[in-house]
Structure 1
Amino acid sequence: MFAEIITIGDELLIGQVIDTNSAWMGRELNMIGIEVVRITSVRDRSLEITDAIDTAMKRVDIILVTGGLGPTKDDITKQTLCEYFHTELVFSEKVFENIKRLLSGRIPMNKLNKGQALVPKDCLVINNRVGSASISWFERDSKILVSMPGVPQEMKTVMTEEIIPRLREKFDVDVIIHKTFAVKNYPESVLAEKLELWEKALPDCIKLAYLPKPSIVRLRLTGRGADKKILNAVILQEAEKLSEILGEDIFDEFDLPIEALVGNLLKDKGLSIATAESCTGGTIASRLTSIAGCSEYFKGSVVAYSNEVKMNLLGVSAETLNAHGAVSKETVVEMAKGAMKALKTDCAVATSGIAGPGGGSIDKPVGIVWIAATYQNKIVTLKQETDKGRELNIKRACNNALLLIQKLIKEENSPLKKRIIL
């Protein structure tokens, strides 16, 4: 069963609002065996909306439309749908009562709010429990079109409570199962080459996708079929083959961000962590603290952008800075030790580098980042090279730092050699 999502609004196309609805809807639909084959965004223009719907009707079974249902004049979705389905707007007392309930004591009723009780005549109208814009469910030639509000919380509520249950009841769909592996130490092209023979031998019901991130490649196995038990068995078999090929370079099979994996590891071992960051500017700390419950293991961070802060707060010696510079193995080692001492933690990570686009030299070009991780009396370092642009340089450094501390803690009884990740 296939679906298409159409989002409506000029604000989406000029970048004023980011479309988060489609990603959420795609995940939820996939979980019930409905595959989204296309996402289309159009302006608040009747002809463009009609063209998008007409094209979608020719290739999918389900069309989910969000946006353009507000009380103002630029919201034209309802009128456009009436034209497309050859019907008219009529006043719904049921919808009006819902609007009065929602506005009561907060917003005075006016003709614009009352106008939202006008709904397409020849469709199933579903009340919106958390908003004034109702939902319209149309059916034509065994195809379904559902028009929903674009406000994310309203869309998610009506999808969860009304639309998804109705779709599950109406359609007999295939089972779709995903299994994701996070892989380190491989550029995407090198990993693809290593997995070429295995990938070619995958059963027809299994598809492989490469999802690269800075210094990490996620591999997603997707199985599609009628029998969930058989599909699970096939995916498990292929996962075992993949594990034999990549071994410890697979560091996660639950599709969690690396900061969550590090957090879980710290909690399991009862450890605390601090960060000392120069070129990453507190980004590692931000990612660690984005995980709920991080107060159990995260103590704090020192963003030491200047040499003065490196010396005064982290105890980096002037001799080290003079001899080796701020971007050096020696400096990040002292930064990591200093953070662990100052914040009284069990482990720490430190970064110092040249994120770009300027500031590089022949000896230390843009893109070079030194990273150190320390745990108890152990210290490991990593030299990141190759300029990918400022944003990606910082993201790679953060991922590499988190991977480094994860590996160090896991292998506390064995030495970890310095590694350069390209």
Structure 2
Amino acid sequence: MVEIITIGDELLIGQVVDTNSAWMARELNQAGFEVNRITSVSDRKEEIQEALESAARRAKIVLMTGGLGPTRDDITKQTLCDFFNTRLVFNEEVYNDIREFLKGRVKNINQLNRDQAMVPEKCMVIRNKLGTAPVMWFEYNNSVVVSMPGVPAEMKLAMTDEIIPRLKEKYEPGVIIHKTVLIYNIPEAVLAEKLTGWEEQLPDEIKLAYLPAPGRVRLRLTTRGNDPDALRKSIQKAVDALYPIVGENIYGEEDQPASEIFANYFRSTGKTIALAESCSGGYLAHLITMVPGSSDYFKGSMVTYSNDLKINILGVKPEDIENYGAVSRQVVEQMALGAVRIAESDYAIAISGIAGPGGGSEEKPVGTVWMAWAGPGNKVVSKEFRFGKERERNIVQTSETALIELMRLMKQGIL
């Protein structure tokens, strides 16, 4: 029903990441509108015109962002005039908005700013409260084309305050329900094989998608209709049927980062945590502290990258590093217990590994990571992982795995 067109050379050369279409698609889905296609085009009239003509043939609703600025490369308005067989006319209300917006910012309104008050005669103007380029709404053959500024804040305000409410009033969309199940430590192909029977039992109205990432897979279930309660019950019934199959590997039922799921869980325990990081280099602390309110439970992190710091700060025995290596069960367990002792925390996570691309051996190849989790009563659990050869990916996967594993150990009463 909906197509999105984003306009700008900067999108096509990688200078700017197109976050507009992703945000719009999420908001439209929540409102019950299904987005069928997203297209990015350059600031050339023929490209914009071709994209608009193609989208208008397929979709009832076409939403465009970009190309509405005051400079010569912003040609969307004239292209819309050609498409709708109309002309640009001066709009006094838009001009007054521009003058008010620029008051105190410029001494005089120049011709380029004044030209932004020229709008297609056949459009309905929606005022832009955060900028100078107005939003333009066109209707034809029970279809709608809306052109918005590419500035994210301006687009978002227009979408939430004006465009989505108007679209809902005009088209009365149904309901789209998404449910995302987060599964850890099962490769995508193995998971798909395990879930063959479960998939075959899914109702026809539920669509399933596998969304893999390092060390985890998101299962997204989607259904649509008019009865939200019935849709949610249908989705939840399918999710509940997953637990007897892969329940130990499920760590969440919302599409959230592992750090947010961990934050919600750990805050609910009323406990505190500290970290002793080596190969992750503080990235695990970064994940935790990116979530607001982490000071409620996070004591701090010791990035003991060198062996000397492992020995002098965390109390790791020098002979254990000598005999077993820094990447070993013996060392990470002492690191975790040292972190609990120094921070006076309830729990601790310790990490030591070979992130790569160098430093590996036949016994301990690149991607080898030892983790330990310490808890009350000096309990400690450790585990070896073998990740890949790419450094950044190893650091991210290590850090997320450490959080998910601690939740699992706590929920199962092991720690």
The TM-score range, normalised by the shorter chain, is: over 0.9
State the 1:172 CA deviation: 2.5
Superposed CA deviations along residues 208-254 of structure 1, whole A, max 9, x for unmatched, are: 11122222212111111233233223223222222333233222123
Cα deviation for residue 259 of structure 1 reads 1.4
- Residue 124 of structure 1 corresponds to 124
Query: TM-score, structure 1 length as denominator?
Result: 0.94
CA distance in 1, matches of 2:408, 2:248: 10
The equivalences for 1:15-414 within 5 A come to: 15-108=14-107, 109-376=109-376, 377-412=378-413, 414=414
Q: Structure 1, residues 181-204: CA drift from partner, whole Å, max 9, x if none?
A: 112231111111111112122111
Q: Distance in 1 between matches of 2:7 and 2:314?
A: 52
- TM-superposed CA distance for 1:304, in Å, is 2.0
Contact 1:375 1:408 survives alignment (8 Å):
no
In 1, Cα distance between equivalents of 2:131 and 2:196: 50
Task: Give 3-state SS (helix, strand or coil) of 2:313's partner.
Answer: helix
Structure 2 Cα separation of the partners of residues 135 and 112 of structure 1: 17
> What's the CA shift for 1:17?
1.1
Separation in 2 of the partners of 1:180 and 1:14?
32
| Alpha-carbon distance in 2 for matches of 1:329, 1:92 | 72
Q: Which runs of 5+ in 2 are unaligned?
A: none
Residues 369, 387 of structure 2: 8 Å contact kept: no
1:277-315, CA deviations, whole angstroms, 9 ceiling, x for partnerless residues?
A: 122121111111111111101111122222222223322
The alpha-carbon deviation at position 388 of structure 1 amounts to 4.9
Task: Indicate the larger mover: 333-342 or 153-162.
Answer: 333-342
**Displacement after TM superposition at 1:258 (Å):** 1.8
The worse-fitting range, judged by mean Cα deviation, of 362-371 and 250-259 is 250-259
Deviation at 1:316, TM superposition (A): 2.2
1:210 is paired with a residue whose SS is: strand
AA aligned to 1:195 is L
**Residues paired across the two proteins, number:** 413
Identity of aligned residues (%): 54
Q: Partner letter of residue 400 of structure 1?
A: T
Q: TM-score, normalised by structure 2?
A: 0.95
Question: Counterpart of 1:301 in structure 2: which amino acid?
Answer: S
Q: Using the TM superposition, give the Cα deviation of residue 12 of structure 1 relative to its aligned residue in structure 2, in angstroms.
A: 1.2
Distance 1:232 1:357 in 2: 46
The two structures, once aligned, show a CA RMSD in angstroms of: 1.6
The letter for the 2-side match of 1:9 is G
